[in-house]
Amino acid sequence: MSVNTGRILQKFQEWEQHRFKYIVPGVRQTGSKMDKLNLQLYWHNYCIIKENERLRKKAQQLNQENQALLSELRQKLAKKGRSNPDQGPCLCSTSNPNYNQPHKP
């Protein structure tokens, strides 16, 4: 999802500069309460989207690291397994935390 961050930031900064007009009694309001609420929700949504993007990138990075470590472990076990092929755990990568690895009889 593409977000025009400059426009959003500009709108929020404009609102921040004039926010006292919304909360100080007796001061003429430059916008309606609905405009204020809309801008607050818009900014909150923007922050959530940015945090989601950050977490998605972190999850991708962790997944890549996990795959690299798993590959390295498989290679090490394959070298050891040549001398004794019946021993060794079943290694598989999954994103499902409830996945149960099959056991050898």
Q: Cα dihedral sign for 62, 94, 86, 81?
A: negative
Q: Which residue has the higher pLDDT, 92 or 55?
A: 55
Nearest to 88 by CA among 71, 98, 73: 73
The pLDDT, as a whole number, for residue 7 is 73
Q: Using pLDDT thresholds of 50, 70 and 90, give the confidence band for residue 100.
A: low
The pLDDT, as a whole number, for residue 64 is 98
Tens-place pLDDT, residues 7-51: 776 776 676 666 555 554 554 556 688 888 888 899 899 999 999
* Average pLDDT, rounded, for the chain: 75
Q: Give the H or E element holding residue 8.
A: helix 5-18
The pLDDT, as a whole number, for residue 10 is 72
Q: Is residue 86's pLDDT more than 90? A: no
How is residue 18 written in tokens?
């004039």
The pLDDT, as a whole number, for residue 39 is 87
Asked if 34 and 42 count as a contact pair (C-beta separation under 8 A), the reply is no
Q: Which residue has the higher pLDDT, 16 or 104?
A: 16
Q: Give the H or E element holding residue 41.
A: helix 33-81
